[in-house]
Structure 1
Amino acid sequence: MEILWLDGNDASIGAKACEEISKRGIVLVRNIKSEQSLTEISKHFGQVFNPRHGSPNGVANIHPDHTLEGKGYTRTALLLHTDRSGMDNPPRFLITTVKKQSESGGHSTFVNGKHLQAQILSEDPKLFQLLRDSRMTQFQQEDRSFKCLPMFYGESKIRCRFDDGIYFNHSLAEKLPHLMRHLAKLQVRVAFKEGEGYILDNHWWLHGRDGFNGDREVLRLLINPVIIDALQKEEGKNTSKLILPDIDTTLLDFPPRFPTSC
């Protein structure tokens, strides 16, 4: 599937991005060179989810920094993942742009979660059922405890990570090599220059990053649709105050760890 590019100099980029996201779940952007540009686009998608390591406007600067927690703040490769995967309802949209390009490496990687689920259902129904079973995976929560949450949920939604913030039940752990092969078959890799980036549906697409050399910087915003924010307020919840590990992924360690009973 070809992914559409939009230009930040187009005054209607926000509306066009919303339309494209509703159709395909992802759009690539260029000429987005400032935090202000990100925040202006974000207004078309909803309300900013404030990260722990972000500026007052919610923009996080993802760059190598050993004083900050999370593999995202290193030069290490990040496997495909969902941002804030440990939340019951992760932030819906992710907006990024490259502020400073790395000397080498740092390509972004993507997988269409709906295509992944369709492929696995067709080729490996048993694996599909395991990935929809909340007893098979535990994701790390704000308080460092773990909660049983399925990787595939709702109507073709996906949550994913491969690091020390997830436990796999033995039944699923045995089939992880199969899952990784499915991901590899669908993975798309894009090299972004300064001022380029992407907007994606965090419930639909997985994203990752190759390792890199140099001082690469990426600006990132997480967004919740207004309707979700309103529902959470009705339920007495305030998701924007949750503090979770800032980057949800790193390389998968083998052998996988196993959860307690769900």
Structure 2
Amino acid sequence: MTIARLESYDDFLRVHFTAAKAPHHADFHWFWLRHNSELDRHPITRERIVCSSELPLELRPRLVRISEDATALDIDWGDRADGKVSRYEANWLRTHAYAADRAAAPVPPSDVDSITVDFARADEPPGRLALRTLEHTGALIVRGFGTDTEALIETFTREGLSVIETHFGRIEDLRTDNTTNRNTDQLGYTDSAIQLHTDQPFLERPPRYQLLHCQRPADTGGDNAVVDALAAAHHLADIDRPAFDLLRTVPVTFHRKQKSFERVLVSPLLDFDAPGGFRIRYSYFTLAPHRRPFSEMEAWYRAYNRFARLVRDERHQYRFHLGAGDFLVYDNWRMLHARTAFTGSRWVRGVYFDAA
């Protein structure tokens, strides 16, 4: 039995074996490997001399390599003064494989080119193109449409969508000198960074789609990011099922309170049974204080933070900059969106849509 190759991930190592029969590969958490290192056994009795509680859960190796004869795996944990490495024989790994031939759920995609089209080269109206692609990608960026927002709205209404007016109005002019909208006492009308969130989570039925149409980019900053929360949820279920189950079952309170508007809604973050399909509600700035039993509060925060770290990792985000005339349209039930802080007179128009 030999090792053919390795694949390193944030939380685990995938070992591919040169075996004619299953398993052909197996996944091992870094912590499991560290806990089972032969370096932590008594030299005479071969009993463990280190308890797992003495090891940091976030421990990651400094170096991982296959031995010269490919019969073993060597890991340098970078925590030993004598420079010794942990060795794991291929046969031992195969015998103790607890995740043999595991098919891992992928992390959220990040190739922004895969969701970007040039309006001048598109062979169909942007509204039709968006509806055709959003089901698969969750988001679409169109470059070079122009700055006529009413004309852009018309392309979506021709495809059977209706503009959804909210407590901000029909069209949001997201700019620091806004004079056209109601209830502008919220982050969207400032130059501050806004971390990942969904819009209107405090409504029983949040608008399905949002259009962000750039009229004028910022002098500096103002970049956008979107994350496929459906892919993130599937990935979380694959790597941490208890955390996924908590996000799917624990109700949280969303509370939007402004000078002239207030709304409260209680719901889990992840809803796979919502009418119309998957729906995520995720908005750190409208979350009310969590109320969980004392014995469950830390577990809840661990689950929530695990998901937050997953989606806030830039490797799992579509990141891009909108120029004048470009627009982003995304599925607000599936995607999270964010922007960076900016300087200058950035102006983006926001419109919500839903099925007519």
- Give 2:265's match in structure 1, choosing from 133, 139, 147: 147
TM-score by length of structure 2 reads 0.58
Change (3 A) 1:105 1:131: same
- CA shift, 1:8, in A, is 6.7
- Cα RMSD for the two superposed structures: 2.2
- CA shift, 1:197, in A, is 1.9
Alpha-carbon separation, structure 2, partners of 1:150 and 1:83:
15
Identify the residue that residue 110 of structure 1 maps to in structure 2.
226
- CA shift, 1:38, in A, is 2.4
Task: Give CA deviations for 1:62-82 in whole Å, capped at 9, x if unaligned.
Answer: 111488211110011111111
Alpha-carbon separation, structure 1, partners of 2:303 and 2:129:
40
**Range with bigger deviation, 13-22 or 36-45:** 36-45
**Structure index of larger Rg:** 2
Task: Give CA deviations for 1:103-144 in whole Å, capped at 9, x if unaligned.
Answer: 111110111011111111011111111111243x11126863
What amino acid is aligned across from residue 177 of structure 1 in structure 2?
N
- CA shift, 1:45, in A, is 4.8
Task: Give CA deviations for 1:9-43 in whole Å, capped at 9, x if unaligned.
Answer: 85622212211112222111122311222211221
- Give 1:157's match in structure 2, choosing from 247, 256, 279: 279
Secondary structure of 1:144's counterpart equals strand
The answer (yes or no) to whether the contact 1:109–1:208 under 8 Å persists in 2 is yes
Secondary structure of 2:207's counterpart equals coil
Q: Which has the higher contact order (CA 8 A, sep 6+)?
A: 1
- Give 1:194's match in structure 2, choosing from 311, 324, 332: 324
Alpha-carbon separation, structure 2, partners of 1:27 and 1:174:
32
What amino acid is aligned across from residue 50 of structure 1 in structure 2?
E
Matched, 1:59 2:171: yes
Matched, 1:40 2:154: yes
Identify the residue that residue 216 of structure 1 maps to in structure 2.
346
Identify the residue that residue 82 of structure 1 maps to in structure 2.
198
Q: Show structure 1 runs of 4+ deviating over 4 A.
A: 8-11
Aligned identity (percent) is 22
What amino acid is aligned across from residue 149 of structure 2 in structure 1?
E
Alpha-carbon separation, structure 2, partners of 1:205 and 1:19:
16
- Give 2:238's match in structure 1, choosing from 94, 100, 122: 122
TM-score by length of structure 1 reads 0.77
Identify the residue that residue 138 of structure 1 maps to in structure 2.
253
Structure 2 counterparts to residues 150-189 of structure 1, below 5 A: 150-153=268-271, 154=273, 155-169=277-291, 170=297, 171-185=299-313, 186-189=316-319
Secondary structure of 1:168's counterpart equals coil
Secondary structure of 2:204's counterpart equals coil
Change (3 A) 1:6 1:84: farther
**Range with bigger deviation, 76-85 or 20-29:** 20-29
Q: Which runs of 5+ in 1 are unaligned?
A: 227-262
Alpha-carbon separation, structure 2, partners of 1:41 and 1:81:
26
Q: Which runs of 5+ in 2 are unaligned?
A: 1-108, 292-296
Alpha-carbon separation, structure 2, partners of 1:89 and 1:8:
35
Change (3 A) 1:139 1:145: same
What amino acid is aligned across from residue 14 of structure 1 in structure 2?
G
- CA shift, 1:101, in A, is 0.6
- CA shift, 1:6, in A, is 4.4
What amino acid is aligned across from residue 89 of structure 1 in structure 2?
R
What amino acid is aligned across from residue 175 of structure 2 in structure 1?
H
Alpha-carbon separation, structure 2, partners of 1:104 and 1:60:
22
Change (3 A) 1:212 1:84: same
Alpha-carbon separation, structure 2, partners of 1:200 and 1:114:
13
Alpha-carbon separation, structure 2, partners of 1:8 and 1:52:
35
Task: Give CA deviations for 1:193-251 in whole Å, capped at 9, x if unaligned.
Answer: 1111211111111111111111101011101112xxxxxxxxxxxxxxxxxxxxxxxxx
